[in-house]
Amino acid sequence: MDTSDPDITFDADGVCSHCRKFDDITSKQWFPGEEGEQRLNTMLDQIRAAGTDHDYDVILGLSGGLDSSILAVRAKDWNLRVLAIHVDAGWNTELAVHNIQRIVEYCDFDLHTHVVDWADMRDLHLAYLRSGIANQDVPQDHVFFASLYGQAVERKIKYVLNGGNIATESVFPANWHGSAMDAWNLRDIHRKYGTTELKSYPTMGFLRYYLTIPYVHRIKVFRPLNFMPYDRAAALTELQERLGYKDYGLKHGESQFTRFFQNYYLPTRFGYDKRRPHLSSMILSGQITREEALARLDDEMYTADQLEQDIAYFSKKLRIGRDEFTDLLHAPLRSHRDFRNQDSAYRRLKQVQGMIEKITRRNLGAYG
């Protein structure tokens, strides 16, 4: 990591705040050894017991990415009854379609696919581009989780399996992005920069996400990859050998939009290279050395031909000309905080949660 993260600090030994946080806090929530296996087995027993009178034990979001894919295979190995949810927001690569099909067939899972209305997605994408904020992935991410938790409530599934993990995602520059689950922010950006009404795009409001889902419907999110050894290279090899999984060549390559957003928009507009936190996380978890990570940063994120193809595809799909695309890339930069947001409400909620936890001596964390 470097000072593209505005909050980063370095101590007298040159060690950055992300590494200190990993040593002092994050690593204590990671259990890749025997203790993790015991905790995992206890949680699996609870999940099976909760699903006894229902059609499914768990719900799992399936994007075709490596983390959710290996988690799906592990869930099969644990004999869990899984409802897989895929949200098609219009940007799936051919490889993603192939991988999702192979996973569902191999695991013999039921699959529910939610196809997002493209008129809604297009107008949201354009609104976000006009807004000039960093996190252009929000329209995809928000609808993914809104659909996932909506299905969990509708089908009375009490556990959500999440592929998020410390081994590859422990370093997170918070100032690079606002919350993808901030519906106030999404609606305000769309109100100011959208051109049509959203017809069927589902949103997840503040109270529903932070209170109703976890404490009324009592839905729990579990991240099993934090309770076992998780090495990305080994996971990729296993998926290739077991079910013919095909490698995207980069993290989040399953989405044409996210590939373009992370490898071109963010570094070009904001100087944010998403490879830095990802590689830093893998250094901290012992998967690669710092020297190997620095060598990977020297690789091109795009060849000139591939970039030109993606810009042409991106512009055509959003129905904008090349001049308008260029104008959007030079629009004034803004923060998500320039729009209505849930940041202060979330901080107040966390303060209340902290006081209740102190009194009850119970962990009330809701999302894994």
81 contacts 53 by C-beta, under 8 angstroms: no
Within-domain flag for 257: no
Within-domain flag for 43: yes
Backbone φ and ψ for 337, nearest 5 degrees, come out as: -70, -10
342 lies in which domain range? 30-249+334-360
Rounded Cα distance between 92 and 257, Å, is 8
Measured between its terminal Cα atoms, the distance across the chain in Å is 25
User: Could you count the other beta carbons within 10 Å of the beta carbon of residue 141?
Assistant: 17
* Residue-level pLDDT at 250: 64
Q: What CATH number is attached to the domain comprising 175? A: 3.40.50.620
- Write b or e for each residue in 236-257: b if 16 or more Cβ atoms lie within 10 A of its Cβ, otherwise e: beebeeebebbebebbbbbbbb
User: Could you count the other beta carbons within 10 Å of the beta carbon of residue 7?
Assistant: 11
147 contacts 170 by C-beta, under 8 angstroms: no
Backbone φ and ψ for 116, nearest 5 degrees, come out as: -75, 140
**Residue pLDDT, tens place only, 9-46:** 999 999 999 999 999 999 999 999 999 999 999 999 99
151 contacts 59 by C-beta, under 8 angstroms: yes
* Residue-level pLDDT at 357: 85
Within-domain flag for 235: yes
| Residue spans of the chain under pLDDT 50 | none
Classify burial at 8, counting beta carbons within 10 Å of its beta carbon; exposed 0-12, middle 13-18, buried 19 or more.
Answer: middle
What is the DSSP annotation of 265-279? IHHHHT---THHHHH
Domain count, the chain: 1
Strand order in the sheet with 220-222: 110-115, 82-88, 58-61, 159-161, 220-222
